């Protein structure tokens, strides 16, 4: 489907397809809808990025808080979104040893206690080893720098989800 077809979608269909490009934040594609006609998928992505940047820090933190923990309880109970499930599987989190699960749980708790939002990283671009190392390292960051790093990761996740929409055979495919 090319951009003309995207521009021809109803608002409801647009949201059905793009609703989770930022995890559990359909308000973001809902907000960029006003910028139609889009010139390309990259144009949609740029509007999403601008919208996120325009939010106050509380809004950015809100986006981060919509993300589930990596290797958390929702992964085990099968309660993740399909996107998050796939990303966590790609990074190797569906295949953890019990000791790795407890290590991730304890790092996630420490991180959330320090920053007030879950650790977010583009799981498709990292292995579980990279992620554990990065999580540990980020615990030493200043809160504002950490929020900015995490929002950068949200944008990377969004870019890959948008690319995936084009390629996948899912009901959401373009
Ligand atoms: N990185 C990619 N997907 C996710 C996710 O669903 N949660 C978190 N915390 N990080 C991610």
Assembly ipTM = 0.88
Is pLDDT at 11 greater than 70 in this prediction?
yes
- Evaluate whether 110 touches 139 at the Cβ level (below 8 Å): yes
User: Which of 119, 67, 121 has its CA nearest to residue 91?
Assistant: 121
SS3 per residue for 112-128: HHHHCCCCCCCHHHCCH
| Arithmetic mean of pLDDT, 98-127 | 97
- pTM of the entire predicted model: 0.93
Instruction: Output the six-digit token pair for 134.
Output: 């990065």
Burial class (CB in 10 A: 0-12, 13-18, 19+), 6: buried
67 catalytic residue (yes or no): yes
At 169, is the pLDDT very low, low, confident or very high (cuts 50, 70, 90)?
Answer: very low
Q: How many CB atoms are located within 10 Å of the residue 65 CB?
A: 13
Nearest CA, atom 10, ligand 1: 120
Is pLDDT at 37 greater than 50 in this prediction?
yes
Mean pLDDT of the chain: 94
User: Which of 70, 120, 74, 121 has its CA nearest to residue 100?
Assistant: 70
Mutation probe of ligand 1 site: the residue of 64, 87, 107 with most atoms within 8 A of C-beta:
87
pLDDT in the model for residue 35: 98
Residue-wise pLDDT for 77-103, tens only, equals: 999 999 999 999 999 999 999 999 999
């Amino acid at each position: 489907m090319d951009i003309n077809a995207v521009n021809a979608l109803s608002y409801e269909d647009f949201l059905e397809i793009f609703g989770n490009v930022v995890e559990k934040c359909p308000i973001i594609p809902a907000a960029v809808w006003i910028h139609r006609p889009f010139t390309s998928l990259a144009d949609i992505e740029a509007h999403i990025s601008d919208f996120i940047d325009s939010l106050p820090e509380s809004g950015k933190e809100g986006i981060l808080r919509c993300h589930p923990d990596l290797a958390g309880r929702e992964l085990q109970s099968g309660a993740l979104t399909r996107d998050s499930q796939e990303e966590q599987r790609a990074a190797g989190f569906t295949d953890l040893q019990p000791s790795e699960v407890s290590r991730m749980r304890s790092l996630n708790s420490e991180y959330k206690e320090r920053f007030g939002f879950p650790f977010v990283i583009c799981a498709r671009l990292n292995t579980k080893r990279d992620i554990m190392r990065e999580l540990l390292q980020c615990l030493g960051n200043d809160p504002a720098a950490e929020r900015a790093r995490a929002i950068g990761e949200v944008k990377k996740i969004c870019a890959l989800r948008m690319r995936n929409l084009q390629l996948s055979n899912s009901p959401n495919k373009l």
